[in-house]
Amino acid sequence: MATATRPCAECGVAFAWTSRNPTRRFCGPGCRARWWRAQRLRAAEAPEPAEVQYAAEPGAGLGGALHECPNCGEHLTVINLLVPDAR
């Protein structure tokens, strides 16, 4: 089993981790809990995204509608949406 040191994602203190758990990010459960609470607070404080209004242009593309991406503003064409049968 290989061991190495890695800085904690919350406090920055170096801790030993092994190949048994290579994705370990925190030095202990206290740091993990503090990091998760901070993430939840940041998400709660983040502003709500503006309501997206799509302007469909009939005949754009293969029978789809031309839309604008709410994040980057680029145009995209939605052709079909497939929904599985709920049986």
Burial 28-50 (b: 16+ CB within 10 A, else e): eeebbeebeeeeeeeeeeeeeee
The pair of three-digit structure tokens given for residue 16, joined into one six-digit string: 């030993």
CA end-to-end distance (rounded Å), the chain: 48
Q: State the pLDDT at residue 31.
A: 93
Mean pLDDT of 36-44: 88
Model's pTM, two decimal places? 0.48
Nearest to 70 by CA among 46, 38, 48, 43: 48
Higher pLDDT, 78 or 28: 28
Residue 44: its H or E element: helix 29-45
